[in-house]
Amino acid sequence: MSSYDHNPIVEMRDIEKHFGPVIALNGVSFDVRPGECHCLLGDNGAGKSTFIKTMSGVHKPTRGEILFEGKRMDFASPRDAMEAGIATVYQDLAMIPLMSVTRNFWMGREPVRRVGPLKFMDFKTANEVTMEEMRKMGINLRSPDQAVGTLSGGERQTVAIARAVYFGAKVLILDEPTSALGVRQTANVLATIDKVRKTGIGIVFITHNVRHAMAVGDRFTVLNRGKTLGTAQRGQITPGELQDLMAGGQDMVELEGSLGGTV
């Protein structure tokens, strides 16, 4: 894998995050390199959300450091992280369903034509770029005025990903992008992840579904009770082992046996 020749874009070292008496993260180390898809796995409550929020500048770590392209960074806000090139696609908050695809795509970074004091939105450019970027991701929109609400869940995630890519993200954090999707839509999103990876963007793919992770992941890190249980390369680990790591022990095997199949 060529991606290992590169230095990490983002490196998180021994991150701890305390909320009052609660220790949400207790020494997590993680990095992502250009062109790789690094999967972060963990069961509910393992600390995945807290971790990515720390990475994207929503939370400040209590201890530990974040290196961005080798330099130490302190993100004061999500805006800082975003400007540095860390884009996050949240599961539910990715898109505003009532607004059109174009309006969503450009939200916060609208192309403007100045006329006096007013900043008019340049809808011609905006619509063209939106249609083009969506086409690149394999989605043919009926119209750029189409409300996001009329798109399927997978398409919405794709719009959010296309948006992040277009605006120059170097690292893309995807928070459970497949958790609420059907089979075919999941496949579409995973294909999109693959396309984006090939452009040299580092992807952090958060999921609790081992099969989805195995489908696109280059490396896998498992988080359990606020700690990393280690990082494995593709081919060095089986889905069963990953599943067991996530559950934090051998219980899964027994449970699976009693249920008569794979969970």
Partner 1 sequence: MSEAMGTIDERVKETSRLRRALIRPELGAIVGTIAVFVFFIVFAGDSGMFNAQGVLNWSTVSAQFVIIAVGACMLMIAGEFDLSVGSMIGFAGMSIAIMAVTLGWPVWIAILLTFALCVAIGAVNGWIVVRTGLPSFIVTLAFLFILRGFTIFFPQLIERQTIIGGIDRAAEGDWLAPVFGGKVFGFVFDWLASIGAIDVFERGTRAGEPIVDGIPMLIIWALALVAVAHVVLTRTQFGNWVFAAGGDAQAARYVGVPVNRVKILMFMFTAFCACVFATCQVMEFGSAGADRGLLKEFEAIIAVVIGGALLTGGYGSVIGAALGALIFGVVQQGLFFAGVESSLFRVFLGVILLFAVILNTYIRRIITGER
| Residue 159: C-alpha distances to residues 60, 147, 165, 192, 206 (Å) | 28, 12, 10, 10, 18
Which region, left, alpha or beta, applies to residue 66 given φ > 0 means left and ψ of -120 to 50 means alpha? beta
Residue in 20, 21, 70, 108 binding partner 1, rule: CB under 8 A: 108
Q: Given the complex with partner 1, which of 27 and 111 has the nearer CB atom?
A: 111
Residue in 96, 180, 253, 255 binding partner 1, rule: CB under 8 A: 96
Q: Given the complex with partner 1, which of 65 and 145 has the nearer CB atom?
A: 145
Strand partners, 87: 172
Q: Which of residues 129-148 bind partner 1 (CB under 8 A)?
A: 142, 147
Decide if residue 99 touches partner 1 (CB under 8 A). Answer: yes
Name the minimum Å distance from CB 35 to partner 1: 25
From 12-20, 87-95, 226-234, 249-257, give the range in contact with partner 1 by CB under 8 A.
87-95
Burial of 183: CB neighbours in 10 Å, binned 0-12, 13-18, 19+: exposed
Decide if residue 150 touches partner 1 (CB under 8 A). Answer: yes
The residues, any chain, with a CB within 8 Å of residue 172's CB and separated by 6 or more, are: 87, 88, 89, 161, 164, 165, 196, 201, 202, 203, 204
Decide if residue 98 touches partner 1 (CB under 8 A). Answer: yes
Question: What tokens does 109 get?
Answer: 């970074």
According to DSSP, residue 41 is labeled E
Return d(Cα 21, Cα 193) in angstroms, integer: 37
Decide if residue 149 touches partner 1 (CB under 8 A). Answer: yes
Nearest Cα to 121, choosing from 142, 139, 141, 100?
100
Residue in 127, 130, 158, 185 binding partner 1, rule: CB under 8 A: 185
Name the minimum Å distance from CB 126 to partner 1: 9
Q: How many C-beta atoms surround the C-beta of residue 221 within 10 A?
A: 23
Name the minimum Å distance from CB 58 to partner 1: 9
Decide if residue 184 touches partner 1 (CB under 8 A). Answer: yes
- Per CB under 8 A, residues contacting partner 1 are 78-79, 82, 88, 90, 93-99, 103, 106-110, 112, 118-121, 123, 142, 147, 149-152, 182-185
